[in-house]
Chain A
């Protein structure tokens, strides 16, 4: 054991002796040139970082101030659009008053859950342009929220009241619950998904087709004719479901992309 220890120490000593000799020519760089090289390198790095930051900032601004309102307004456009069952003509349905009320409650819910922070959207420290631009985004969000309820609520009859009651119940309950932004998004996604399936799959399936006489319809599809008559179901073309599917998807995408606060402009 002692022999091995001794041999290890001797090897270390030899290595240390060898390292004390540095073999090579010394390069002399004038101090001024050296400073310039270092300065240039640091300037390049800082410029690169600044450009990258500006690019990222621009991307975020484009998303917030251009794409988000366009997404929400597209939802507003599609939300009330239906296709007639007879000839596939456009039918633009204006939102019922209850849709406006639901949209207002939903906006309050967004602020309560922290999905939107009021001080991050409107502030005295922001420029007037930024405050107005932020208001435009929130206006588009409200418009889209109104139309998404217009899309998901049945147009008339008993189903309208049942769906409206369910939405009211959910929104009212959520108003008094401690929510996180992510959870609220998940909850909204599931509620809207369920409403979409109920209206555009189940109720649409129960609706009798058009183009046949009442008697023929009663003989061929008695259940559908009965449900259509009892529930006062409107008849729309199948394309309506496809349009509304994209309206819901765009709305949820818009909510996902919506920042809780906008960045302050550095001037």
Chain B
């Protein structure tokens, strides 16, 4: 074998091993059994990031539909989980809007709202606005169609005003 070939082989092996060591320290597997699982996750992440970089990223339709079904059945925890799995890179405004909407519907209360969920929803709204300022939902089942309206619902829900003590409030409907 020529010396040049040995040097090239050495460089290749060194790079490969160095990448492996850096990868191990970044994913921190707890045991040897965990290494294949971590490797699979890394490959999936790299694939998604590459798709984003080259502009071929798409939401997982199957997961999105599962999320939508759960959302319509008021099973918001499962819905959010599926929406997050469908849009792992958080790049689809429609999916992110549904996640925010799920916080609203889950946190809505006739007597009082769940402030923790409303705060999470408000944070989520900023993500939707950042992705698409002019976003408008095409879902006929949703009464709130735009991020601005939903944001207003969250902000009003978090405020404590005199109207909160109005007993007729219990007759208001969830949007």
Binding site for B on A (CB under 8 A): 57-58, 61-62, 64-66, 69-70, 73, 76-77, 80, 89-92, 94, 127, 129-130, 132-133, 136-137, 139-140, 143, 265
* Pick from A70, A90, A143: contact of B31, CB under 8 Å: A90
What separation, in Å, do the CA atoms of A64 and B3 have in the docked complex?
Answer: 11
Contacts of A70 in B (CB 8 A): 13-14, 17
What separation, in Å, do the CA atoms of A62 and B3 have in the docked complex?
Answer: 9
Contacts A69-B14, A133-B11 given; indicate if A94 touches B6 (C-beta within 8 A).
no
Contacts A89-B31, A90-B31 given; indicate if A61 touches B17 (C-beta within 8 A).
no
Count class of interface residues, chain B: 20 to 34
Contacts of A90 in B (CB 8 A): 28-31
Contacts A73-B21, A90-B28, A90-B29 given; indicate if A136 touches B15 (C-beta within 8 A).
yes
Q: Check if B11 sits within 8 Å of A136, measured CB to CB.
A: yes
Q: Check if B3 sits within 8 Å of A66, measured CB to CB.
A: no
Binding site for A on B (CB under 8 A): 1, 3-4, 6-11, 13-15, 17-18, 21, 24-25, 28-31
Q: How far is the CB of B157 from chain A (nearest CB, A)?
A: 42
What separation, in Å, do the CA atoms of A265 and B18 have in the docked complex?
Answer: 26
* Pick from B1, B13, B30, B31: contact of A69, CB under 8 Å: B13
What separation, in Å, do the CA atoms of A69 and B14 have in the docked complex?
Answer: 6
* Pick from A89, A127, A129: contact of B30, CB under 8 Å: A89
- Nearest A residue to B4, CB-CB: A129
- Nearest B residue to A58, CB-CB: B1
Contacts of A139 in B (CB 8 A): 14, 18
